[in-house]
Amino acid sequence: MSVQNITQDDFSSVIKSNNKVVVKYYADWCGSCKLISPKYRRLSDDDRFTGITFTEANAEQNEAARKAAGVDNLPFFAVFKDGKLVEGSATSKEDYIISLLEKLN
């Protein structure tokens, strides 16, 4: 599965139309965001997480998406189930991202 880039305009519909969604919030200037990207993309192809929609949103250009998860630092990962926020946190640790994903299964 690939990672879908979502915008301010389609954030709400993506969260509501998919049962399980993970969002990676990033900024173009964020070095840690760039470093975690290959790991995040690899997780999107992991068979353990089939059925989860992997997305990313530019935190600087998506105010509504940022507020929906309470983004306070970058990179920030949030998981949504049935349109509702389950959990989110600023992290660049793959183990924590995996624990977030497992909460959706």
**Residue 7 annotated to the active site:** no
Q: Which of 14, 87, 3, 5 is nearest to 38 (CA)?
A: 3
Catalytic residue among 15, 23, 30, 52: 30
**Residue 40 annotated to the active site:** no
What is the CA angle 7-20-43, rounded to 5?
85
Q: Is the dihedral of CA 80, 53, 24, 10 positive or negative?
A: negative
Q: How many helices (H) and strands (E) does the chain have?
A: 4, 5
Catalytic residue among 15, 21, 33, 59: 33
Cα 26 → chain centroid: 9
Q: Which residues are catalytic?
A: 30, 33
